[in-house]
Structure 1
Amino acid sequence: MNKKIFSERDICSKFISPALANAGWDLQTQIREEVALTSGRVVVRGNKAHRDEKTIRRADYVLYLKPGIPLAVVEAKDNNHTVRDGIQQALAYAEMLDVPFAFSSNGDGFLWHDRTLQDGVLEREIGMDEFPSPSELWRRYLAWKGIAPEAEPLYTQDYYPGKPARYYQLNAVNRAIEAVTKGQRRILLVMATGTGKTYTAFQIIWRLWKARAAKRILFLADRNILVDQTKTNDFKPFGGAMTKIENRTVDKSFEIYLSLYQAVTGTEEVQNIYRQFSPEFFDLVVIDECHRGSAAEDSAWREILDYFSSATHLGLTATPKETTEVSNITYFGEPVYTYTLRRGIEDGFLAPYKVIRVDLDKDLGWRPVSGMVDTLGQLVEDRIYNQSDMNRSLVLTRRDEIVARRITEFLRATDRMAKTIVFCEDIDHAARMRQALINANADLAGANPKYVMQITGDNAEGKLELDNFINPRKPYPVIATTSRLMTTGVDAKTCKLVVLDRTINSMTEFKQIIGRGTRIDEEHGKLWFTILDFKKATELFADPAFDGDPVVVFEPEPDGSVVPPEEDSEPAAGPDGHDEPLPPGPDEPGAGRVRYVIDEVPVYVVNERVQYLAPDGRLITESLRDFTRIQIGKRFVSLDAFLQAWSGADRKQAIVAELEEHGILFDELAREVGKDLDPFDLICHIAFGQKPLTRRERAEQVKKRDAFGKYSDKARKVLQALLDKYADDGIANIEQPEVLRLAPIDQLGSPVEIITAFGGRAQYQAALQELERALYQ
C-alpha cells in the first residue's frame, strides 16, 4: 500500500485510529479528535476585531482515562513526513494539558515521549501494533503524579456533565483534587478574571462531594452579588443540598453552604453565627476572591478560617496579594495552578484591549492664585496640586465636565450603548461624575434616566440596577459610575469601555479593575475593550508585577498587628456585602486636610495617545506612524524591495495580512492620515515618504488610460465595477471570489456567467492581476 498518496486525515482514519482501538482505547469515551485547545487570539484593528485562526491550537488526538482526565496527546502527519515530525507540536500540547505522554505518527509507527521515565528512556520509536494500553499509561501517570493507590477513587471521580471545561480549567480542577489526595490542607488557585474561577470551584466541590471526601462545604465571599450569582448559576446542580446562610439561626441539615463572611461574623459574640457550627462541621472551606480579606492575619475572614482549621481551605483569586503586610502565599502556599491574563488573551479566551491615555493640564500641576477661596468660602491652601490631589483634596468641577465630555466623544465615535464603567476616587466623585455625564448625554439621558447610573454602596437605587447593568439583554443602565463596588466579582461580559479616573497604587486593585472588561461575549459583539485612562494608571502595565509570578514578600513584625497601608487596602464591605467608604486617607477630609471645591478654574486636554496591545503582549507606545515605519523596515529594506514584493504577489491581501500580524493597523493609519488610502499608499507614504494617492484617484487613473480595451463589452463592465469596488472598499474585497455576488456586479450575471465572459477562471484571474498592476502602475 502506497501511504504517500493519503492525506493526514486518511492516515488518522486508516492507521492511527485502528492502532489506538487495537491497544484497548475506547473510540467513544477515551479518544477525542481535532481538539481545539484555544479559541484563537483576538486581533483588534481600529474599531474592528477578528480571531486569528492561525493561533488556534488544535490537537489531532487527546487520549483520556475518562472525560476530564487527559493522559496523552497524539499528533498526526501524512506519510510524506517522518514519524518524528510531529513530536514538538505534540509536546507543546501535552504541556498545555499537563500530561506526561506525547506521541507523533505518520502511519508507519509512533514516536513516544514519556516524561515518567519509568523505563529510563525519554523517547523511543514503537510499531503501530505497540501503542500502550489505557491501563499502562494510567499506571505510569499515577506514579508520575505521586498519587497513592488508595487515593485513586477520589482522583477518578466523575466531573459534573454539561458545559465542557477548557483545558486550563481541567488543569486547575485536577491539580486541586491531586493536592487533596496528597493531604494538602491549604490550596491556592490563581486564575485571571473572566476565566471561570467559580465554575472551576464548582467542579472541584462536585467531585470531592460525590466522592464523599468532603461531605459538608462552606463557600465564602464578601459580596452579595458573588454569592447570589454563584448560587443561581454555576452551583445550581447542587439543588436542595445547598443553602445560603441569611438568618441568625442556621439549619444544619444542608451539605453545601454559601455565605457572606459579614453574614456570619460581627463585633459581638452573638453575631458570630459560624460558631453555631462545631469546628469540625465543614470538611472544605472555599474562599472566593481570597486576595481581599483572608490575606491579612487580623481580618474577619481569618477568624472563620482559624475556627474551621480542621477543614481543607481552598482559596480562589485572580490577584494574589503579596506585600510586606499581607500574603496569600504565606497562608495558602504556592499556587497549585496559575492561569494569567496574558495567557488568556493569547489563547483567545479573554478580550484584548487598547489604551487611550488622556493628560489634563491641571493634573500636571496647578497652583491657586493668592487669596483664592472655594465654593464653601474656604481659603485654598497655597501649594502645587497635582494628579494625586484631584478629587481627593481638590475638586475642580470643570475637570468633571471635561472628563465626561471625553467619555461621551469616545462613545459617540464608537457605540453610545456600549456598557461603560467609570471608576472614581470615592462615592462623592461618582455622584458628581454621574451628573456630568448626564449633562454631556442630555439626549439619551433625557429619553431614559437610567442611561447613566451611580452604582455605589450607599446608593440603593443604583445597587438595584447592578443586575441590569451586567445583563447583556438589558440595554440600561449603559454608563455606571462607581468607586469600589464594581472593582471585583461583577461579571459584566459586555463592558466595552473601562474609564480610570481614580488613583490606583495597588497592582491587585488594578488587575481587578482591568478584569471588568476582559470577558468575551461574541453573541453580543464583545471581543475587545478600551481603557480610557485619566490617571496614568495604565503605566502599571509596564510593571514587572503585572502578570508576573507572585513572590512572597511577607515580613510580619514579631507580635505586631498586621494592618495594610491605606493606599494598598481593599474596599471595605458592609454587612450586606456592599462597599462602604474607606476611612479617610492622609489627603482626604477627616484626616487633617480639608477638601476644596472650585467651580471657575477651566481644565483642558493637553495630550492624548492611543496604545495598542502588540502580538508579543506588550503595549505599543510609539506613535502609530513610527511603529509602522519600524515594522515595515524590518520586512522591506527599501522601497524597491517593497514594490518588487507587492508586484510579485498573486494576492496583495496576503502582504497586508502578514503586516497586520506584526501589529500594523491600516484602518487606524488611514484615519490618522485622513484619506481613503490603500495599504499600498499608506506603506509608501509613511515608510518611504512617497506622495500618496487615494483609492478613488488610483481607480480614475486606470479608467482614463482605458486599460481594458481588449476585453469584451461584458468583461469591461465587470472590470469597471471592480474598480469602483476598489475605490469604495479597498484591494482585499476585489480579491475575494464573493465579490462577484455583490451589487452591482451581480447585475451583470451569475459568477459562472461572468467568468465565462473572460474565457474561463484562469483568464478571469489573469484579468484581475492585470487590473491590480494597472492600479499600482
Structure 2
Amino acid sequence: MTPEALARTRIDQKLQASGWIVQDYSEVNISAGLGVAIREFPLSTGFADYMLYVDGKAIGVVEAKPDGHTLAGVETQSGKYLQGLPNNLPNYRLPLPFAYESTGVETQFSNYLEPDARSREVFSFHQPGELLHLVKLEQQTRGLLREMPELNSDRLWKVQVESILNLERSLAENRPRSLIQMATGSGKTFTAVNFCYRLIKFAKAKRILFLVDRNNLGKQTLNEFQQFDSPYNAYKFTEEFTIQHLKRNTIDPASKVCITTIQRLYSMLKGEEEFQEENEEASLFETPSSVISEPLPVVYNAQIPIGTFDFIVVDECHRSIYNIWRQVLDYFDAFLIGLTATPTAQTIGFFKKNLVQEYTHEKAVTDGVNVGYDVYRIETQVTKDGAELIKQPGIFVPHRDRRTKKKQYKELDDDLTYTANQLDRDVVCDDQIRLVIKTFRDKLPEIFPGRSEVPKTLIFAKTDQHAEDIVRIVREEFGKGNDFCQKITSKSTGKKPDDLLAEFRTMYNPRIAVTVDMIATGTDVKPLECLLFMRNIRSLSYFEQMKGRGCRVIDSDTLLSVTPDAKHKTHFVIVDAVGVCESEKTATKPLDRKPSVSTEKLMGLVATGAADPDLVTALAARLARLAQQLEPEPTEAIEEASGGKSLDELSSDLLGSVDPDEVTTEAVTKFNIPGDQEPTEEQYKEVEQERMRTALKPFHNPKLRGSVLNSKRSLEQVIDERTTDSLIRAGFDQAAREKAQSLISSFCQFIEDNKSEIEALQILYSKPHRARLRYSQVKQLAQAIQRPPYSLNSERLWHAFETVAPEKVKGHGGKQLVDVIALVRHALDPDSLLSTIGETVQQRYQDWLANQEAKGAKFTLDQRKWLDAIKDHIATSLAIEQDDLDDVPFNQIGGLGKAYELFGDQLAAILEELNARLAA
C-alpha cells in the first residue's frame, strides 16, 4: 500500500468513526445519512480529496496527505477548494466554512466562520451534527470572545479582576492554553466560577469541563457554583445553567458545566459504563507517573465527540496531568485553562509559557489576601535517630495486627533496631508520638502568646493507623473527649468525612483534626492557625499545597465564632516535628521505574485507569513474588475479592496481556490481516491496550487492592512501649534568620564602602532630579557585589530579606540583573517595600494605561501587544530606544516599521513617556 493509499484508509476510518458515511463520487448519495464524505469531488478549482455534506448540503472539505507530510501551509490548498463549489450545488454558505488537512495520523481543522481563522490540531474529525451546530450559530464563540462586555468587579478582589481580564484577553487572541497562578486562599475557584459564567453567558460556550484533583474537591467546587449569584441579574448560577458533578459515566446533554476528575473522564473515554467513586478519593499529587513509559492511550469515542466541551478548566495542575494524562486533554477541541498555586516548569511549558496571571503567596501576603507563617521546630531523639529494642527472655512486647488491630504479647525474635523511616510503619514508639504532642501542648503559650484556647490545628500523619495513634494520644495528653480531636481521612467511619470537615471548619469542636492527605490540597478551612507535620514530604509542589491549608484569611467575627480568644488571624504556624521544612524537596518527584515504586502506588495508578506495559509487568512480578510468601488466610481473602482467581492466576493474566506473540495473534485475527503480513504498530497497540485493560480490571475493585496490600505488608507492627524519647529542641527556627541578617549586614557594609566609587550607588544615594540609571551602570554594580571580599548574590540577598522581614518583601526577586537596584533601595530605606523591578514597572505601566484611558486614549489589540513588549524590555533593560525596535523580540513582530505603522508620529513621544514613567 502506498503512503497516499494508507493515509486515505486511515482517514476513511476516522471519518466513519466520527459518524460520516464515506462514498466514492461515482456512487454518491447525499441522503444516505446526516453526514456524507465524498471522495475525489470535482470542483472548478480541482478535485477535493473529500467533500463533506451535512443534511444534504456541502459544508467543508478534507485535504489528504501521506503520513509524515507537514500540514503547515496546506491550508492554502484546502482553502482553494472551499471556493470551488459550483454555485448550483446546495451549500450552507460560500466559500465553504470548514476545512481539514489530515494524514490519518495528524489532523488539523480550520473554522472560517471565526475571525482571523487559524488552523488547529484536532484529535479526529468533528461529527456531522457538531459542524451543523457551528454553521447555524449567529456568531462563533471565538468571535464572541473578542466582544466580551465590561466585567462587573463589585465582588471581586483586584487579583481576581486581573486574572479574568487577562484570561479573556488571552482567549480573544485565540491562545489555546492559558495558565493562571493564584496563591492558595486568593479565591481561584471563585475566580473560575466568574469566568465560567461569563464564557457561558456572553461567549455562548456550549459546555465547560471542570477537572478537579479528587472527588471531595469536586463537591467543594459544586458548592461554589451553587452559591454564586450573578452580578448581572437576580439568579444564581445553578438557576440559569445546569451544573453536573459526575457520579456516573454519563454527561447530561443539558449540562453547561461538568465537574469531574481526570480518572473518571479517562474511564468514560474508554467506554466504561461504571467507575467507582473510591478511585477518585486519592490526590494525584503523589501519583508515581514515571512508571508509565508514555501518556495513556486514548481512542475515539463516538459517545463523547471532540466538540463536547468548548473550554476545559484544570484546577490544581499537578504534574501527572501533563505527563500520563495529557492525551485525555488533547482529545477535545477546546481551550485549556489551568489554575494552580504552585506551577512547575513542566506546567508552565505545557501551557506554552502563557502565564496570564502570576500571583504568588508572597504577593498575596503583601496584599492581605493570604497570611504569612512562622516555623516552630520540635525535634526528639527517636524522631531523629530511631531506637533499639533488646530481646529479653520473659519480656513480652505488644504486636498489633494491621488488619484487625488486635494486640498479641510475645517475645521478640531478635534484637530490633529501627530507624526513623520505620517509625509508625513497622514500629510504633508510643513515647515518641506522646513527647511530640506533650511538647506541642506545653509550648502553645510560646507559639501563640496570650491565647488560652487551642487554635484550630491540622496534624498530617503518615498512614491511617498513624492517624489513629495520634488521635488517641492527643485526647489523652490534652485531657479532652472525642469531640476535641477527630481523624478526618477517607477511612473515617461514623460521621462522613465531609460532615467532620464541615464541623472542623465552622464549629468550636474539633479543635484538632488529624489527616493523611484528604485535607492536604484544595480544601478550604479558613480558621486553621496551626499545621503540625508528623510526616515528611519530598515533593515541593505537594508541600506548598499542604502549607496552603493555613494561609487563608478570615474575618475576625467568623474566627471568633470558632476560636473565642482569637481576635485576628495575622499568621499561621507550621510546627515541624519531622524536619519537613529542612529536608530538600524536588519540583517533580523522580521515581525509579521498577523496584523503587511501591506496590501501593502501582495499585493507585491501576485504580485511576492506567494501563501500560511497564506498569503491568511490574505489578505481575510483585504478585508472583507475593504468591510464594502468603499464608492461607490472606490468600482466601484475595480469591474472594477477585472472583475466585489466585495471585498466580492474576499475575499470569497480566503477563499474558503483554505477551508479544499473543498480542500479534489476536491483532491478526481482529483486523483480518493476511498471513504474510504483520499488524501495524497502531493495530498492535490497540489490541495490547484492550488486553491490558481486561487483565487489570479486577484491580479496579478496592477490596482486591486492599486485600493484596494487606497481605503484602508485614501483618504486625511492633509496639515499642519501653523506649523513652527525649527532647532535643523546641523553638522558633532562628538559625536561618541569623544567617540571613549576617548577609544583609554584609550588603549594607558594601553599599557604605562603595557609595562614592560606583556610579549606580552615587545616583541611588543622591537621588538627583530626573537622573536615570543606565543598564551598564547597573551591570557594573551587580558585578561588584559578586567580587570578594563580599561575594554576594542577588537571589541570596533577596531570600535573606524575605527571611528577616517577610512582610516587607513582595515576590521572589533577584533573578533579573536589574533587581539589584531594588535591593539597594530597600537597604537604604528598610521601611520601604522590597519589590522586583519587573513588579514595579508592571504597576507603573498599569497606572500609565489607566491614565491614558482616562484621557480618552484607546489602544487596539496590536498596539497593546507592542506596548506590553516595550514594557517588558524596560523591565529588564531600564530604557528603550527606537533602534531597539529592530532587535529581538520586536523584529519578530514587524520591527520599527510596524511600530511606526501602529503609532505613527506618536511613537517617539510614547517611548520617551514610558521611559520616564516606568524606568527604575
Matched residue type, 2:384: L
Matched residue type, 1:610: F
Q: 2:273 maps to which residue? A: 271
Alignment of 1:333 with 2:367, yes or no, is no
Task: For residue 195 of structure 1, give the secondary structure of its aligned residue in structure 2.
Answer: coil
Q: 1:511 maps to which residue? A: 544
Q: 1:280 maps to which residue? A: 307
Q: C-alpha displacement at 1:353, in angstroms?
A: 1.0
CA contact 1:221–1:227 (8 Å) conserved in 2: yes
Pick which of 174-183 and 530-539 moved more. Answer: 174-183
1:193 is matched with which residue: 170, 180, 184?
Answer: 184
Q: C-alpha displacement at 1:321, in angstroms?
A: 4.7
Query: Does the C-alpha gap of structure 1 residues 425 and 467 become closer, same or farther in structure 2, counting only changes over 3 Å?
Result: closer
CA contact 1:283–1:312 (8 Å) conserved in 2: yes
1:713-748 deviation per Cα after TM superposition (whole angstroms, max 9, x unaligned)? xxxxxxxxxxxxxxxxxxxxxxxxxxxxxxxxxxxx
Task: For residue 281 of structure 1, give the secondary structure of its aligned residue in structure 2.
Answer: coil
Q: C-alpha displacement at 1:564, in angstroms?
A: 7.8
Matched residue type, 2:737: I
Matched residue type, 2:329: L
Alignment of 1:216 with 2:207, yes or no, is yes
CA contact 1:588–1:595 (8 Å) conserved in 2: no
Distance 1:193 1:187 in 2: 18
Query: Does the C-alpha gap of structure 1 residues 353 and 600 become closer, same or farther in structure 2, counting only changes over 3 Å?
Result: same
Q: 1:227 maps to which residue? A: 218
Q: C-alpha displacement at 1:155, in angstroms?
A: 4.5
Q: TM-score, normalised by structure 2?
A: 0.44
CA contact 2:490–2:497 (8 Å) conserved in 1: yes
Q: 2:491 maps to which residue? A: 458
1:171 is matched with which residue: 138, 147, 162?
Answer: 162
Task: For residue 184 of structure 1, give the secondary structure of its aligned residue in structure 2.
Answer: coil
CA contact 2:176–2:336 (8 Å) conserved in 1: yes
Distance 2:367 2:187 in 1: 14
CA contact 2:208–2:257 (8 Å) conserved in 1: yes
Matched residue type, 2:520: T
Distance 1:162 1:582 in 2: 51
Matched residue type, 1:243: I
Q: Superposed, which structure 2 residues align to 1:342-357 within 5 Å?
A: 342-357=362-377
CA contact 1:420–1:499 (8 Å) conserved in 2: yes
1:604 is matched with which residue: 726, 729, 749?
Answer: 726
Distance 2:733 2:432 in 1: 23
Over the aligned positions, Cα root-mean-square deviation in angstroms equals 4.7
Q: C-alpha displacement at 1:608, in angstroms?
A: 1.8
Q: 1:539 maps to which residue? A: 582
Query: Does the C-alpha gap of structure 1 residues 502 and 242 become closer, same or farther in structure 2, counting only changes over 3 Å?
Result: same
Task: For residue 322 of structure 2, give the secondary structure of its aligned residue in structure 1.
Answer: coil
1:679-701 deviation per Cα after TM superposition (whole angstroms, max 9, x unaligned)? xxxxxxxxxxxxxxxxxxxxxxx
Q: C-alpha displacement at 1:370, in angstroms?
A: 4.0
Q: C-alpha displacement at 1:387, in angstroms?
A: 3.1
CA contact 2:504–2:513 (8 Å) conserved in 1: no
Structure 2: segments with no counterpart, 5+ residues: 1-140, 229-235, 276-300, 400-409, 560-567, 609-701, 753-802, 808-920
Task: For residue 405 of structure 1, give the secondary structure of its aligned residue in structure 2.
Answer: helix
1:294-336 deviation per Cα after TM superposition (whole angstroms, max 9, x unaligned)? 1331x4xx464243x21112221222355xxxx4344333233
1:290 is matched with which residue: 314, 317, 334?
Answer: 317
Q: 2:131 maps to which residue? A: none
Q: 1:431 maps to which residue? A: 468
CA contact 1:454–1:462 (8 Å) conserved in 2: no
Q: 1:258 maps to which residue? A: 259
1:487 is matched with which residue: 514, 520, 527?
Answer: 520
1:487-526 deviation per Cα after TM superposition (whole angstroms, max 9, x unaligned)? 0111011101100000211111110111010011132222
Matched residue type, 1:314: I
1:571-591 deviation per Cα after TM superposition (whole angstroms, max 9, x unaligned)? 98989xxxx99999xx99936
CA contact 1:393–1:593 (8 Å) conserved in 2: no
Distance 1:582 1:350 in 2: 43
Query: Does the C-alpha gap of structure 1 residues 332 and 562 become closer, same or farther in structure 2, counting only changes over 3 Å?
Result: farther
Matched residue type, 1:246: K
Query: Does the C-alpha gap of structure 1 residues 282 and 340 become closer, same or farther in structure 2, counting only changes over 3 Å?
Result: same
Q: 1:239 maps to which residue? A: 238
Distance 2:190 2:340 in 1: 13
Distance 2:344 2:415 in 1: 38
Matched residue type, 2:580: A
**Larger relative contact order (Cα-Cα within 8 Å, sequence gap ≥ 6):** 1
Query: Does the C-alpha gap of structure 1 residues 566 and 345 become closer, same or farther in structure 2, counting only changes over 3 Å?
Result: farther
CA contact 1:187–1:314 (8 Å) conserved in 2: yes
Q: C-alpha displacement at 1:465, in angstroms?
A: 3.4
Query: Does the C-alpha gap of structure 1 residues 600 and 261 become closer, same or farther in structure 2, counting only changes over 3 Å?
Result: same
Q: C-alpha displacement at 1:371, in angstroms?
A: 2.6
Q: C-alpha displacement at 1:456, in angstroms?
A: 0.6
Matched residue type, 1:253: A
Task: For residue 513 of structure 1, give the secondary structure of its aligned residue in structure 2.
Answer: helix
Query: Does the C-alpha gap of structure 1 residues 163 and 387 become closer, same or farther in structure 2, counting only changes over 3 Å?
Result: farther
Task: For residue 434 of structure 1, give the secondary structure of its aligned residue in structure 2.
Answer: helix
Any runs of at least 4 consecutive aligned residues in structure 1 with deviations exceeding 6 A, and if so which? Answer: 272-275, 553-557, 560-575, 580-584, 626-631
Q: 1:137 maps to which residue? A: none
Q: 1:730 maps to which residue? A: none
Structure 1: segments with no counterpart, 5+ residues: 1-149, 613-617, 638-660, 666-777
Query: Does the C-alpha gap of structure 1 residues 348 and 321 become closer, same or farther in structure 2, counting only changes over 3 Å?
Result: same
CA contact 1:501–1:533 (8 Å) conserved in 2: yes
Give the share of equivalent positions with the same residue, in percent: 22
Distance 2:477 2:319 in 1: 36
CA contact 1:424–1:500 (8 Å) conserved in 2: yes
* Structure whose residues are more often helix by fraction: 2
Q: C-alpha displacement at 1:356, in angstroms?
A: 0.6
Task: For residue 485 of structure 1, give the secondary structure of its aligned residue in structure 2.
Answer: coil
2:529 is matched with which residue: 476, 493, 496?
Answer: 496
Q: C-alpha displacement at 1:343, in angstroms?
A: 2.0
Task: For residue 172 of structure 1, give the secondary structure of its aligned residue in structure 2.
Answer: helix
Alignment of 1:477 with 2:510, yes or no, is yes
CA contact 2:391–2:411 (8 Å) conserved in 1: no
Q: C-alpha displacement at 1:427, in angstroms?
A: 0.6
CA contact 2:737–2:804 (8 Å) conserved in 1: no
Query: Does the C-alpha gap of structure 1 residues 338 and 569 become closer, same or farther in structure 2, counting only changes over 3 Å?
Result: farther
Alignment of 1:620 with 2:611, yes or no, is no
Task: For residue 406 of structure 1, give the secondary structure of its aligned residue in structure 2.
Answer: helix
Matched residue type, 1:233: E
Query: Does the C-alpha gap of structure 1 residues 369 and 151 become closer, same or farther in structure 2, counting only changes over 3 Å?
Result: closer
Q: Superposed, which structure 2 residues align to 1:573-588 within 5 Å?
A: none
Query: Does the C-alpha gap of structure 1 residues 608 and 554 become closer, same or farther in structure 2, counting only changes over 3 Å?
Result: closer
Q: 1:656 maps to which residue? A: none
Q: C-alpha displacement at 1:663, in angstroms?
A: 5.4
Query: Does the C-alpha gap of structure 1 residues 197 and 556 become closer, same or farther in structure 2, counting only changes over 3 Å?
Result: same
Q: 2:336 maps to which residue? A: 313
Matched residue type, 2:575: L
CA contact 2:189–2:224 (8 Å) conserved in 1: no
Task: For residue 395 of structure 1, give the secondary structure of its aligned residue in structure 2.
Answer: strand
Distance 2:255 2:191 in 1: 22
Matched residue type, 1:310: D
Distance 1:454 1:582 in 2: 25
CA contact 2:212–2:218 (8 Å) conserved in 1: yes
CA contact 1:470–1:493 (8 Å) conserved in 2: no
Query: Does the C-alpha gap of structure 1 residues 170 and 571 become closer, same or farther in structure 2, counting only changes over 3 Å?
Result: farther
Q: C-alpha displacement at 1:161, in angstroms?
A: 3.5
CA contact 1:227–1:258 (8 Å) conserved in 2: yes
